[in-house]
A and B are shown apart, each in its own frame.
Chain A
């Protein structure tokens, strides 16, 4: 779940990852995924909108570089989980994002990609959504930031950075593709 902070960070905000660090985290996660999977074969990367999608594309590029060129590009798609959320009825009707799955997921190793892992509810929704698309051989989870405070038994397989936070803090991930720049910040709620 991405919690975007205000455009103009308040003084209470501090940067925890800069562009360089984000880039290195992605490269390291790409290596880990390849190592765990013993290569790129059978992998499908599905980003969770909004910022999971560009992250999935970055991972795919980093994996292609790490392997020194692949026979076929790693399939990347997006998996919208809006309709599967357990808090739909706590908010006004939510806009729905795109689901685009380039290949069948039956028998594939699906890597779900998101920017922030927090309560775990988004990942649960994603697992349900994935189940309706088919039966992957395995599902892994890659997140840029794990900020803790889990409410469900969910654990990431690959983490860019573990970030201990307080629950009154907001973690904001900004990515160039969406926000114009790469940056992860923590903001203290003024409440």
Chain B
């Protein structure tokens, strides 16, 4: 694997490898010495143009538990206003001699542009998309798949292909959700049927061409699915005219206490966090027995360890360079 830019780049076998290895990595989390030497001497930089304490910490722990040197660079604030171009910023960091760059950016496509610039210059730096604008967040989708796979395997050990044939509802602001896009790609690759539930104002244009079912009636959907994934409602959407009031949103699309009873018995609840309790998810739902929200967080480190190992665990490129300007 050269980069991890989009969940769409992974086939089912590659996803399986990443998730299987993540299972091994998860064991490390419960050991007295949470350390593997696999990436000793490798340098991973978390280049975050947008704040995200949880994603950054998760990548940081993942790198450190694999013995990589991890540095965090916060490039918050528009580089346009600072006069430095994105290309300058990423090439500057790459030239320090890093092996992998974990990029978070508020603009869709920034990690893909970064990877293209590296390729043009023959830089061997691996790029991981840690969330780009409203495009993708592939490691979030991987950790969601990991969490759900574990859950379904525990429920039904006779189905090792735990996600194939499952129906999974993704509820909320699909238009602006990178989590939703990556999950649609990844869950579909794994053979699950995704049901998107949202008011029409929060469905992206062209959603009709996606390999999903689109619904507007959450109450009816809840009884038909094997799992439900609630998306965060961004504060700025509340004033953007996408729905009249938060109250109306909750009544229509929130996972309220009353709606918990509509779920199939044992159907798990996911949320990528951070949650707006009382808006898209009630406290009762978030803390219910079916909630996998904390499992998702734990899975995040294991999945990111697995991804970093896939990218950096083997030999360098044929010419032996990693990260140095040629």
Contact = CB atoms under 8 A, between A and B. Distances in A.
Nearest to A89: B315
A20 interface: no
Nearest to B40: A88
Interface in B22-48: 24, 27, 31-33, 35-38
Interface stretch (B68-76, B88-96, B306-314): B306-314
B315 A83 contact: no
Nearest to B306: A96
A132 B21 contact: no
B32 A134 contact: yes
Given A83-B37, A99-B24, A92 B31 contact: no
Contact of A93 (B32, B36, B37, B309): B309
Given A80-B24, A99-B24, A99-B27, A91 B36 contact: no
B38 A83 contact: yes
Nearest to A97: B24
B315 A91 contact: yes
A8 to B, nearest CB: 28
A128 B37 CA distance: 9
18 contacts: A83-B36, A83-B37, A83-B66, A83-B309, A84-B38, A89-B315, A89-B316, A91-B314, A91-B315, A92-B315, A93-B310, A93-B314, A94-B314, A96-B309, A128-B37, A131-B33, A132-B33, A133-B33
Interface string A106-148: 0000000000000000000000100111100000000000000
Contact of A89 (B36, B309, B314): B314
Is the contact region of chain B dominated by helix, strand, or loop, or is it mixed?
Answer: loop
A94 B32 contact: no
A90 interface: yes
Contacts of A134: 32
A130 to B, nearest CB: 11
Interface size class of B (residues with CB under 8 A): 10 to 19
A98 interface: yes
A92 B314 contact: yes
Nearest to B305: A83
Nearest to B21: A96
A128 B310 CA distance: 21
Contacts of B314: 88-89, 91-94
A144 to B, nearest CB: 26
Q: Kindly name the residue among A88, A94, A98, A131 whose own CB sees the greatest number of chain B CB atoms within 10 A.
A: A88
Nearest to B24: A96
B68 to A, nearest CB: 12
B36 A132 contact: yes
B37 A90 contact: no
Nearest to A133: B31
A54 to B, nearest CB: 20
